[in-house]
Amino acid sequence: MTMNPNVIEEVKRQASYRWKEIFLALAPQLQPAIEKAGRHVPCPVHGGVDGFRLFPHYEARGDGICNTCGHFPDGFALLMWVNNWNFPQTVREVGRVLGVRNLGGARIERPDKEEEYTGCIKVLHDAPYLNNPKNAQSFTVTLQLENQKTVTLWGMDLKTALEGIRAQAGDWVNVKRIGKRAIKFDDKSFNKTIWSAHKADSPEQREAKAQAEKAQHDRAAEQKRGAILKIWKDSLPLSTNHAAILAARRYLMRRFILPANGKGLESFAVHPGLFYADGEKVLGTYPALICRVTDCEGNLVTLHRTYLSFNGFKAKVPSPKKLMSVPDGMSINGAAIRLTSVKPELGIAEGLETALSVMRLTGMACWSVISANGMRTFQVPAGVKKVHIYADKDTSGEGERAAEDLKTRLMQEGIKVLVHVPEMDIPEGVKGVDFNDVLVKRLIG
């Protein structure tokens, strides 16, 4: 039967970001893959050990891959494969789960009140409905909930849902009443209750997983902190006589921001040979200008890296400026590269080179907040009474918007604020100008 294209598009639209619910209702054999999204599990069709996985963000599109059968770009293709359905049947079944109208068949009516339970199966078996011998044969399951209360549920579709996940007494499961569907049997009409079911963790399993995840996060954070400290330890001060130091000095001199007295360079160091990775591929090692990024209390958050060539230019890599990964429990929001100690009157600018340019142009202490987001989230440390914001002038206007957003917040906090914008036009074909461009124009015209 041909389906209305508008109905197909509506089902596709509503299915987006609801594929977990759909899979649990229509393909409970995908439960292991749902629990370990992004990791390999036994294939729901071929079995084995690790032949299948759902993609990490499968809930948006429902996509997955089988090592034997290939890639399934969306949940419709995946359900057709798992359940051996054709496309119209798949659209109808998904639409019924979602409650879409005009599907050409009985639609699942959504319940007025959601009914969902998570508990340990104490009893499950076939029995006459409500254990009354006069009633038709049905199926019952009794769950003991986490609060120790019990609930008894009935329905043949419940049996289908639990069999689909191979549930047995002692298992923890989650069952959800999706709704009702009108059916006919022996020329009589009935409303059949539709259930979904999936395996769940017991309270002890949840606690164990939470502890394991915390331990994993702690180890990852420690590894990140260790990597940050090692790179800083292996870096050299700008006063050192080394080829990498010469590269960094050439880079700063090209921007006219190498202070003769070294003022503003206390937070700098130079790594003599830092590897550059693009994904899992290492492209090479380069001299790198390293800067400490600290929070409003002066605690080290991460490092900012500028990869250089030995002749004093940015290295020819995809992203010559990078932040190291921030350890869990810390945030780049509000942080800055401190080029001076805390002053009662402080300037801030986005880029490192811009902040150094402001210091040379005005003599004012100035810090780098790295980006427009850093501008918006900057946290003023104790002791600062007045802030000068040196905004980038972009064709998009983003730099000035970020500056105004910060100004509004700081004024509400009782801090005096002035915003400065480069008084020069943006040249044709250029994305914007900043105070390093102002400095260069002033020095060389």
Give residue-wise pLDDT tens across range 195-240: 878 788 899 998 998 898 889 888 988 999 999 999 999 999 888 8
Nearest C-alpha neighbor of 47 from the set 22, 67, 63, 64:
67
pLDDT given at position 187: 66
pLDDT at residue number 197: 82
Q: pLDDT digits over 17-37, tens only?
A: 889 989 988 998 898 899 889
Whole-angstrom Cα distance, residue 386 to residue 370?
Answer: 20
Q: Which long-range contacts (CB under 8 A, 24 or more apart) does 272-275 make?
A: 272/234, 272/235, 272/236, 272/242, 272/243, 272/244, 273/244, 274/231, 274/305, 274/307
Q: What number is the average pLDDT over the span 64-84? A: 91
- Structure tokens of 187? 């020329």
Return the higher-pLDDT residue of 185 and 399. 399
Lowest mean pLDDT across 108-112, 205-209, 433-437: 108-112
Maximum CA extent, the chain: 100
Cβ neighbours of residue 119 closer than 8 Å, sequence gap 6 or more: 143, 144, 145, 146, 150, 151, 172, 173
Confidence class for position 410, pLDDT limits 50, 70, 90? very high
User: SS3 sequence, 383-397?
Assistant: CCCEEEEECCEECCC
Report the pLDDT value the prediction gives residue 413, as an integer from 0 to 100. 92
Give the predicted TM-score (pTM) of the model: 0.62
